[in-house]
Amino acid sequence: MERIITATGELVLEQGLDALTTNRVAEQANVNIATLYQYFPHKQALLSALVQTHMHDLTRKLHALLDGLGDASVAESTRLWATLGIQYFRQNDSLLGMLFQSQHALSTLPEGKEFERRLLDAMHRFLLRQRDRLQVESLDRAIYVALHACTAILSRHLLEPVPYYQDEEIVEEVIILMTRYFGAGDA
């Protein structure tokens, strides 16, 4: 099964999402089409598995990072998770870029909502430990707004063919956004 997912990623990189077919994936993975259909009945299932593989890897790294931070400030935690996210994207740049640019393909996959839920959970677990230092009325609502604001900024920055700003500059702005929004006062 891993070979099929790897072949899917290779084909997306080589030929793009629109050219992806189950027959091409089976050929690339060197498996019989019937074998492929046992695990992946259609193209969307292949894309789901590919997205799920990357999102699971990234959320695992984010959870480990945030769980290990202890009493770190909002500014320091933001610096670390934003940098981790940017580095992960840059390491998998071409494939993730193609997947994220095709929002219509991703929006039909349940993995997108699951990824969002995992990110919200990671932020909640970390910020709950700092609740007494935060100046927001509803922590859950604030996390929801902050997550979507930060992912919109980071996604836009990462998908720019020629970014307007350096990664480090964007990280600094996201830190300011987070510390001011949460009233953490530790920028």
Which of 35, 10, 9, 36 has the alpha carbon at shortest distance from 22? 36
Dist. CA 144–CA 147, nearest whole Å: 5
User: Which of 170, 128, 118, 126 is CA-nearest to residue 149?
Assistant: 170
pLDDT tens, per residue, the chain with 187 residues = 899 999 998 998 888 888 899 999 999 999 999 999 999 999 989 988 988 888 888 889 988 998 888 889 999 999 999 999 999 888 876 677 767 666 545 555 677 778 888 889 999 999 999 999 999 999 999 999 999 999 889 988 988 888 899 999 999 999 999 999 999 765 4
Q: Which amino acid is at 40?
A: F
Q: Confirm if 48 and 111 have CB atoms less than 8 A apart.
A: yes
Which domains are delineated in the chain? 1-41 (1.10.10.60), 44-182 (1.10.357)
Residue 116's pLDDT is 84
**Alpha-carbon gap, residue 136 to 117, rounded angstroms:** 21
